[in-house]
Structure 1
Amino acid sequence: MKYFILVLLSTILTGAAHAHPDHAETGMQHEAAAMAAAAADFLVTLDEDQRSSVLFDLSDTEAREGWSNLPTTMAPRSGLQIATLNDTQRIALHRLLARGLSSEGYGDAMHIMTLETYLRAGVEAAIAERGEDLSDEDRERATSRMEANDPENYWVRIFGDPASGTWSLVLDGHHLAVTATVVEGRIAFTPVFLGNNPQTIQTGTYAGRRSLQHELDRVADLMASLETEQMDELVQSDDTRDSARFAGPDWVPDMEAAPVGLSAADLNAEQQIMLTYAIREFIGTATMAAADAQMARIEADGLDNIMLAWWGDYTDLSRRFMLRITGPSLHIDFTRTGREDRPNHFHIVIRDPSNEYGSDWLRTHYEEAHAEE
């Protein structure tokens, strides 16, 4: 009876895409149409120069893949900066973002952007504390960094014509990069970068507020359930990997290399459901139907093709660590990073090796378009 209940919970959690594969496709068509309408409404609010800044050719892969986790002082962005928009334009942009993300994804993105206020205050306090001991060069560098830590210092790019049904959206800035590629009613939402600093606010009116906590909780539940033999397969090293390589799209590991870690097939039924919970949490930034469709593809890969690997201290998740969940249609790296004595800082990267930036769908789209010529 317990196993039946667990399977039932897994089916419910996996959503409509699991029970009715065509429901996710139909749902994505509605979501894609709503996104296109919101994009058109946003573009109408812009003047000619702004439209020139925000619009790119869909084939401009350099701009599409030019997102970064790094501050803009280290990685300048292209496109249209939120800080330059008036109220009407901001309202239209946020309608587009709300349509292109789930409620979870939109909330996470807004919280991450708001955290720049705390980083800015920290740099400003450090400048004041150092006072005259700070050299002119260091002061200039710190001031530039402080000014870059701005909730409005995020940049939007639109590729192609939303009205055509095949186009792409990118929003990025420090600790945040979200993408959506729409191809004839289907939505690819990877890559995604989600970060925070601080993960948990420590002082003031908002002390205790945290971001990306549910991802941590799902991982913690799974880790706590593992047996010694499973840990022996899972843990690769006591040392964490350098998360700096998560900065942009070039970090993707060699997918041809032999996978390492613990096979999801070696989890028991309850642990497999915990893994499903965790994966759903990570891909939950996407719109509902897009996430359901992605989950269906991940399940179709089979448990034998999904691997988990861990670097760092697995007994205390308040310390630095990195978890990797990888398979043919999914690649997640989740790291707790930051100062060794206070790693209050997350980086999460979500990729789809089989359809990054909707590449598989776009390839078919272009082949069919040329075949009609």
Structure 2
Amino acid sequence: MKHIILIVLGTILAGAAHAHPDHADAGMRQEAAAMAQAAGEFLATLDEDQRARVLFDLGDTEAREGWSNLPTLRAPRVGLQIATLNAEQRVALHGLLARSLSSEGYGDAMHIMSLESLGRARIETAIAERGEDMPDEMRARAQAALAAANPENYWIRIFGDPASGTWSLVLDGHHLAVTSTVVDGRITFAPVFLGNNPQTIPSGAFAGRRSLQHELDRVADLMASLDESQLAELVQSQDRREAADFAGPGWVPDMEADAVGLSAADLSDDQMLMLHAAIREFIGVATMSAADARLAQIETDGLESLHLAWWGDHDDLSEPFMLRISGPSLHIDFAREGQSGDANHFHIVIRDPSNDYGENWLQAHYEEAHAEE
């Protein structure tokens, strides 16, 4: 009964926020206006060459979908690199990012970026330990990796004109790729990639500091509640390496293929609330109104329409695993990467099969604009 109430509430919210771009609620319109203003302030600090690097046509699908979770050494980026910005420009950029994400989402993004400094320190230590014994070819690779492991190696791309009310923003770099799209006052956040290595910092001044912990905790709560029959449906393999392909760049929704595992319709009311809490945690990177609207759409589709699938050890969540939550308007892949006993590394991707990159909204926007000509 409890999850039925949630679905009814979601339907009411979705009726206001999802039927049409003109029906975006006041909170989301305010957030969209703040994003556009911050984008304009950031663009105003840039010179002509920087503007040419950061601005793209909204129809440039290759650049919009060309994000990656890989280090920049393995996947070069396009756009405007944060490393090239002066102090004034960085202040303006962070004004834009802070208004384009929730407080938690902004904090997660900044922490993920800062972890590149730890990667850099590990490489420096390895080079120092090998000293002159390190072969030239290995040293060259290490030096290249050292240059890439940098908290400033993140790129910004802006598609379209923020002042027009229809545009998109991409923040892209190692373990972090966030795409937000604004269409006539509505905001969508998909796809989003969040990762970390390490998830828990093992030593130094910030020893014990964790990222993406709440996501893990919500999943752990749900997993601990499942009975044997539910686990039998959920677990596809005890081996993380046998998991389905991660929904990264180039992913194409396949509702039939993804509808495997445990149906959410087979969850109890309490378990449904746990699933709801987990989903809310994952999509909480978005601004408040955008996250609320996204959750309302998922509830309108029906939480019972979701499927959950698991690969890996379900008894010990410190070991490598992958969880997939999939449905008509939500696809989440959450993986703990690494080797047994050393899986201190998360990958999370959040996608919207019904409106990835805001494509459905953009199509409706273009059709209406064409009809008015």
Q: Which category of TM-score, normalised to the shorter sequence, fits these structures?
A: over 0.9
Alpha-carbon deviations, 1:242-299, whole Å to 9, x = none? 7896484124453342610001110000000000000000000000011111101101
Q: Counterparts of 1:177-188 in structure 2 under 5 Å?
A: 177-188=177-188
What's the secondary structure of 2:255's corresponding residue?
coil
- Other-structure match for 1:221: 221
Q: Counterparts of 1:1-373 in structure 2 under 5 Å?
A: 11=6, 20-21=13-14, 22=16, 25-241=25-241, 246=246, 248-252=248-252, 254-257=254-257, 259-373=259-373
Aligned mates of 1:291, 1:273 — CA distance in 2: 17
Aligned mates of 1:16, 1:39 — CA distance in 2: 33
Aligned mates of 2:129, 2:314 — CA distance in 1: 37
Question: Residues 64 and 327 of structure 1: is their aligned pair in 2 closer, same or farther, counting only changes over 3 Å?
Answer: same
Measured after TM superposition, the shift of residue 18 of structure 1 is 6.1
Measured after TM superposition, the shift of residue 25 of structure 1 is 2.6
Partner amino acid for 1:210?
A: R
Measured after TM superposition, the shift of residue 131 of structure 1 is 2.2
What's the secondary structure of 1:119's corresponding residue?
helix
Alpha-carbon deviations, 1:116-175, whole Å to 9, x = none? 000111111111222233211111111111111101110000000000000000001000
Measured after TM superposition, the shift of residue 19 of structure 1 is 5.5
Alpha-carbon deviations, 1:315-341, whole Å to 9, x = none? 000000000000000000000002333
What's the secondary structure of 2:209's corresponding residue?
coil
Moved more, 333-342 or 98-107: 333-342
- Other-structure match for 2:20: none
What's the secondary structure of 1:336's corresponding residue?
strand
Matched-pair contact (CA < 8 Å) for 2:11–2:297:
no
Q: Please report the TM-score for the alignment, with normalisation by the length of structure 2.
A: 0.94
Question: Residues 128 and 252 of structure 1: is their aligned pair in 2 closer, same or farther, counting only changes over 3 Å?
Answer: farther
Q: What is the root-mean-square deviation of aligned Cα atoms in Å? A: 2.0
Matched-pair contact (CA < 8 Å) for 1:159–1:168:
yes
Matched-pair contact (CA < 8 Å) for 2:109–2:176:
yes
Question: Residues 327 and 240 of structure 1: is their aligned pair in 2 closer, same or farther, counting only changes over 3 Å?
Answer: same
Identical-residue share of aligned pairs (%): 70
Partner amino acid for 1:269?
A: D
Question: Residues 249 and 16 of structure 1: is their aligned pair in 2 closer, same or farther, counting only changes over 3 Å?
Answer: same
Partner amino acid for 1:71?
A: P
Matched-pair contact (CA < 8 Å) for 1:18–1:292:
no
Segments of structure 2 that go 5 or more residues without pairing to the other structure are 18-23
Partner amino acid for 1:94?
A: H
Partner amino acid for 1:197?
A: N
Aligned mates of 1:110, 1:295 — CA distance in 2: 24
Question: Residues 252 and 198 of structure 1: is their aligned pair in 2 closer, same or farther, counting only changes over 3 Å?
Answer: farther
Partner amino acid for 1:109?
A: A
Matched-pair contact (CA < 8 Å) for 2:179–2:191:
yes
Aligned mates of 1:296, 1:121 — CA distance in 2: 43
Question: Residues 78 and 248 of structure 1: is their aligned pair in 2 closer, same or farther, counting only changes over 3 Å?
Answer: farther
Alpha-carbon deviations, 1:196-235, whole Å to 9, x = none? 0000001111000000000000000000000000000000
Matched-pair contact (CA < 8 Å) for 1:215–1:278:
yes
What's the secondary structure of 1:257's corresponding residue?
helix
What's the secondary structure of 2:259's corresponding residue?
coil
Aligned mates of 1:115, 1:364 — CA distance in 2: 40
Segments of structure 1 that go 5 or more residues without pairing to the other structure are none
What's the secondary structure of 2:26's corresponding residue?
helix
Measured after TM superposition, the shift of residue 7 of structure 1 is 5.9
Partner amino acid for 2:151?
A: P
